[in-house]
């Protein structure tokens, strides 16, 4: 069986060494040694001064909204994993959807501008499949209307845009470190902020609003990363360049084999950005053809995924909205299996099945 992704795991004895040290110390959570070390190392790797590790990427979004005191409405993309929007609704913020650019698959700044009202409190944009948004245009809108930008960078770990880390963009950026991501901590996430005061506030919010013993200074929640998660992250970070290189090889094989087929459409990746090869999305001519291709692959125990379907404007807890481009692409996009040790024989089966099914 070949799934759309395969979690990268380090050598067992390497992880077990960390686990042994956790058992010896008895310190399992609450800002332990490995959590602090991972925070330091990720700060250096991502080239950001302030990073707060959390237990998952959804909570990273919710904390970001709290840090910016978002209310009423926020403009976001309908073409993303549901957590981008559900985290807003959970916090009492109404998602307002701006349609996407048909080539980049990212939120279209022109459509963002059309959606702004006096109730708009932020722009929440996603670097879809690791492809950086048009930050220059979104930043102009942000400044013009005095509203912050939150970047959901869940797919964009390690990506650089115009020579700088994508994590530096926006007022706040967040990452998911879920097991399906190229860098993971089993479950986990991170919040990237700009200054020490916001960092300190975030650290407070993820720990129940408790600044120290016998003190509760404000409303908070439990969003802390534990030591077992951090230990996995330290193992993975040691190997991240090899992980990305392995994925590049597989991605390049898909491109070489499929890019000449006129009926297929590919995401246009930002030429000013590096690629972390997190996903390989393929847009089929029609939904019927997608279902045929998917069915043929499934019959041979190959399981691509329809990222992201359905388009989020169809959620039953948001106001009815129309985003025709996102809806069209969501019906026709299929992400192919992509992981570093996908061998050529298995990948050729995937490619040949696609070619004979369209």
Q: Taking residues 283-291, what's their average pLDDT?
A: 98
Band of the pLDDT at 278, cuts 50, 70, 90?
very high
90 pLDDT more than 90: yes
The count of other CB atoms within 10 Å of the CB of residue 219 is 10
Take residue 336 and report the two structure tokens written for it: 């192919």
The count of other CB atoms within 10 Å of the CB of residue 140 is 13
DSSP 103-138: TT-SBPHHHHHHH--TTEEEEEEE-GGG----HHHH
Q: Taking residues 279-299, what's their average pLDDT?
A: 98
214 pLDDT more than 90: no
Distance CA 189, CA 175 (A): 5
Distance CA 191, CA 175 (A): 7
Q: Taking residues 295-311, what's their average pLDDT?
A: 97
Band of the pLDDT at 211, cuts 50, 70, 90?
confident
Q: Taking residues 300-305, what's their average pLDDT?
A: 97
Q: How far from each other are the two terminal CA atoms of the chain, in whole angstroms? A: 22
| Residue 16 CB-half CA count within 13 A | 3
State which H helix or E strand residue 2 sits in: strand 2-3
250 pLDDT more than 90: yes
Q: Taking residues 279-289, what's their average pLDDT?
A: 98
Strand partners, 73: 94, 120
Residue predicted with more confidence, 213 or 232: 232
Q: Taking residues 15-23, what's their average pLDDT?
A: 98
The rounded percent of the chain whose pLDDT value lies above 70 is 100
Band of the pLDDT at 73, cuts 50, 70, 90?
very high
* DSSP tag of 336: P
For domain 240-357, give the CATH number.
3.90.1150.10
CA distances from 288 to 45, 58, 215 (A): 43, 33, 59
Take residue 287 and report the two structure tokens written for it: 């939904």
Q: Taking residues 333-356, what's their average pLDDT?
A: 97
Q: With contact defined as beta carbons under 8 Å apart, do 204 and 217 qualify?
A: yes
Q: Residue 349, by phi and psi: left (phi above 0), alpha (psi -120 to 50) or beta?
A: alpha
Query: Residue 1 CA to chain centroid, in angstroms?
Result: 25
Q: Taking residues 161-185, what's their average pLDDT?
A: 97
The rounded percent of the chain whose pLDDT value lies above 90 is 97
Q: Taking residues 299-327, what's their average pLDDT?
A: 96
1 pLDDT more than 90: yes
Take residue 283 and report the two structure tokens written for it: 């847009």
Band of the pLDDT at 179, cuts 50, 70, 90?
very high
Q: Smallest Cα–Cα separation from 357: which of 308, 307, 298?
A: 298
Q: Tell me which of 153-162, 206-215, 321-330 is least confident.
A: 206-215
Question: Strands 120-126 and 73-76: what pairing?
Answer: parallel
290 pLDDT more than 90: yes
Write down the architecture of domain 2-238 according to CATH.
Answer: 3-Layer(aba) Sandwich (3.40)
Q: Tell me which of 76-85, 133-142, 204-213 is least confident.
A: 204-213
**Average pLDDT over the chain, rounded to whole?**
97
pTM, rounded to two decimals = 0.96
Angle, CA 88 vertex, CA 86 and CA 93 arms, to 5°: 135
Query: Residue 115 CA to chain centroid, in angstroms?
Result: 24
Take residue 115 and report the two structure tokens written for it: 């959606």
Q: Smallest Cα–Cα separation from 87: which of 125, 60, 122?
A: 60
Q: Taking residues 209-236, what's their average pLDDT?
A: 94
* Domain map (residue ranges) of the chain: 2-238, 240-357
């Amino acid at each position: 069986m070949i799934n759309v992704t395969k979690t990268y795991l380090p050598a067992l004895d390497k992880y077990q060494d960390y686990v042994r040290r956790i058992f010896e110390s008895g310190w399992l959570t609450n800002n332990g040694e490995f959590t602090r070390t991972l925070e330091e190392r990720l700060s250096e790797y991502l080239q950001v001064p302030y990073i707060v590790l959390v237990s998952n990427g959804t909570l990273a979004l919710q904390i970001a909204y709290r840090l910016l005191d978002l209310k009423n409405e926020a403009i976001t993309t309908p073409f993303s994993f549901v957590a981008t929007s559900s985290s807003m609704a959970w916090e009492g913020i109404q998602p307002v959807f701006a349609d996407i650019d048909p080539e980049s698959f990212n939120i279209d700044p022109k459509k963002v501008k059309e959606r702004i009202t006096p109730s708009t409190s932020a722009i929440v944009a996603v670097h879809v499949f690791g492809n950086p948004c048009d930050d220059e245009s979104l930043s102009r809108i942000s400044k013009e209307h005095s509203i912050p930008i939150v970047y959901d960078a869940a797919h964009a770990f390690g990506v650089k845009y115009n020579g700088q880390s994508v994590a530096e963009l926006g007022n706040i950026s967040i990452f998911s470190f879920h097991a399906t991501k190229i860098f993971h901590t089993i479950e986990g996430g991170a919040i990237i902020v700009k200054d020490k005061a916001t960092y300190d506030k975030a650290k407070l919010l993820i720990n129940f609003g408790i600044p120290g013993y016998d003190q509760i200074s404000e409303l908070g929640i439990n969003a802390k990363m534990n030591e077992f998660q951090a230990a996995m992250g330290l193992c993975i970070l040691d190997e991240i360049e090899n992980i990305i290189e392995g994925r590049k090889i597989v991605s390049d094989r898909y491109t070489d084999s499929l890019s000449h087929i006129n009926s297929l459409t590919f995401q246009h990746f930002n030429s000013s950005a590096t690629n972390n090869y997190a996903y390989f999305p393929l847009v089929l001519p029609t939904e019927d053809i997608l279902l045929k291709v998917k069915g043929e692959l499934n019959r041979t125990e190959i399981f691509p995924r329809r990222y992201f379907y359905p388009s989020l404007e169809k959620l039953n807890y948001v106001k009815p909205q129309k985003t025709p481009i996102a809806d069209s692409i969501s019906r026709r996009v299929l992400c192919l299996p992509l992981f570093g040790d996908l061998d050529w024989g298995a990948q050729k089966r995937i490619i040949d099945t696609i070619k004979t099914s369209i």
